[in-house]
Amino acid sequence: MRRRTVIVGVAGITGLSGCLFADDRHDEPPELLGFGEIEIVIDGSPVDLSEDRFQAEHADNYSLAFHLHEGDDFWYMEGEERVTFAEGINALPYFAYEQVDGDHVVTYDGTVYDGRDPGTELTFLVDDEAVDPTTYVLSDGDDLLLEITTGE
């Protein structure tokens, strides 16, 4: 009975660290640089980031640098360097971030939210404080909120 407990325990640990071995460029798993909570809200409606298409286990195009996992509501940052809030958003499947003429532009599922458009506002918060997403480097435990309002 003890042998089965050990096997199940090891299988559980292996499952939790699945993304660590998904990158064929590394002989050893990359270092976990941080994790925290993330929420993206568009016109008052939260994006369901728990959908399979956003999770590293199911996404075709995910990044070890910043990604999500099934089973929890956390972002994970692994690899050699920390990323900025903007780089993190840009790394998520179905999202893109760019800065145009000093304004934030986020594309989600093919819809462009451009801060230059009248009535459109993109707010990036870390632990309830507004930040510049292009310069704020993420740290372990950061709670991230991207809030997009279009006035529609």
pLDDT at 127: 98
Contact call for residues 40 and 90 (beta carbons, < 8 A): no
Per residue in 93-111, pLDDT (tens digit) is 999 999 999 999 999 999 9
Confidence of residue 62 (pLDDT cuts 50, 70, 90): confident
Q: What is the mean pLDDT of residues 54-60?
A: 82
Q: What's the angle, vertex CA 60, arms to CA 125 and CA 7, rounded to 5?
A: 95
Mean pLDDT of the chain: 84
Contact call for residues 85 and 144 (beta carbons, < 8 A): yes
Q: Where are the alpha helices (DSSP H) in 40-151?
A: 85-91
Token couple for 106: 């986020």
Tally Cβ neighbours within 10 Å of residue 121.
Answer: 13
Cα–Cα dist 93/21, whole Å: 19
For the chain, domain boundaries: 2-149
Cα–Cα dist 97/89, whole Å: 6
pLDDT of residue 24 exceeding 60: no
Task: Tell how strand 129-130 and strand 121-126 pair up.
Answer: antiparallel
Note the CATH number of domain 2-149. Answer: 2.170.130.30
Cα–Cα dist 56/75, whole Å: 10
pLDDT at 150: 97
Contact call for residues 115 and 103 (beta carbons, < 8 A): yes
Tally Cβ neighbours within 10 Å of residue 59.
Answer: 16
